[in-house]
Structure 1
């Protein structure tokens, strides 16, 4: 019996990339890691982001929270320093604000037609494109490149991007996140029993993995307990 981890995240969420790495580190230590399946779900941090970028992330943050682009760059630098501790060399200051709906539609395609392993590979490619190479997350060519690298059928990816396919599933994920009380991401649900909110330390993920596994795989409970009066047979024979 395997254990499933459902993850709500966005491909332009820095803490989602950091949280992904921390979960992966915890899984590397987990003795039942081969029996754990990770599935990604859509969350839109910026539902109103344009299809064509008109400003950088730093400019967007400075406009939203005040202080202009320089203040936005300081915010970006803070999270980038944390990412560096996880081996991630962010170029977030150069990244552009753009829609991620199409990226999520491809993630649904990957899961539906190729399975969780290919979906995870595509998630990694999309995160790397945005954070490590500062590429436009709404660009058709960027999305197709990520799909090819992850093993998604390119013709199907083109068909999806040229249509509204999987759009309803994306917003269904968003609604489900709200039902679960997830107001931010990353948000992890382990075996539908335990929730972990945010890019928690590796130790927290390790604890959650252990608790969820134990809850789903309870130890055998012996009824009655050991007794000298119990009639049993063993290698040395049977009790009278």
Structure 2
């Protein structure tokens, strides 16, 4: 059974949903027969590469709230993450273009370390406050997760995997995923958002039962 997860590495709900899903998978009887594949979804693919913006300022402008309200929303998200065993440090966090990060996630898929690289990118951004928009930092992060740093640099210096990222963005739109995280099981079941672990567990059981009926 294949589970495809559309996500962006700077999406706080994506990291939370990832953890909820993983806990459901841990308790799934047939977990050894489940393949998990991460698909690219950029929250803002039009954002200029090389530029960043303060997350609180961005939220305030996007949702028509004050900066103080945006900061409070970030605090609430930190509390949600803590309840799932994650440590978010959102104060001073900046947002930017994640194309390069997604290209390295594709490389990681080729090398069999995609899950480790995705986890490393999430942790680097949300917990450690490392800039996942800086190529040198990106190389360090993915190397720590098992990718060859020289190969990672080579990919970043080229346009490799950019078309794959774009194709996955289009695929998300085609299946109706206008936001992330979005989970697709065997291209038959879709789960939108950072649903509770229990919800993911129910969908896994149902999908397995239907596939083996």
Q: TM-score, normalised by structure 1?
A: 0.85
Instruction: Specify the structure having the higher radius of gyration (Cα).
Output: 1
| Structure 2: tracts of 5 or more residues without a match | none
| Structure 1: tracts of 5 or more residues without a match | 219-240
Q: Does the alignment pair 1:125 with 2:112? A: no
SS in 2 for 1:107: helix
Alpha-carbon shift at residue 71 of structure 1 (Å): 1.9
Structure 2 Cα separation of the partners of residues 21 and 54 of structure 1? 27
Runs of 4+ in 1 over 6 A off after TM superposition: none
Q: Is the 8 A contact 1:9 1:41 kept in 2?
A: yes
Aligned residues: 213
Q: Does the alignment pair 1:71 with 2:66? A: no
Of 130, 146, 149 in structure 1, the residue corresponding to residue 144 of structure 2 is 149
Segment drifting more, 207-216 vs 51-60: 51-60
Structure 2 Cα separation of the partners of residues 216 and 65 of structure 1? 41
Q: Deviations over 1:190-235 (max 9, x none)?
A: 11111111111111100000011111222xxxxxxxxxxxxxxxxx
Alpha-carbon shift at residue 66 of structure 1 (Å): 2.9
Alpha-carbon shift at residue 53 of structure 1 (Å): 4.1
Structure 2 Cα separation of the partners of residues 111 and 89 of structure 1? 26
State the match for 1:165 in structure 2.
Answer: 160
Structure 1 Cα separation of the partners of residues 25 and 152 of structure 2? 30
Q: Deviations over 1:83-128 (max 9, x none)?
A: 110111101222111110000000011112x12xx10100000001
State the match for 1:30 in structure 2.
Answer: 28
Q: TM-score, normalised by structure 2?
A: 0.96
Structure 1 Cα separation of the partners of residues 92 and 3 of structure 2? 32
Greater relative contact order, per chain length (Cα 8 Å cut-off, separation 6+): 2
Q: Deviations over 1:109-167 (max 9, x none)?
A: 1112x12xx10100000001110012212111221112111111211100111111100
State the match for 1:231 in structure 2.
Answer: none
Aligned-residue RMSD, C-alpha: 1.2
Structure 1 Cα separation of the partners of residues 151 and 52 of structure 2? 29
Of 128, 132, 136 in structure 2, the residue corresponding to residue 137 of structure 1 is 132
Q: Give 1:77-88 correspondences, 5 Å limit.
A: 77-88=75-86
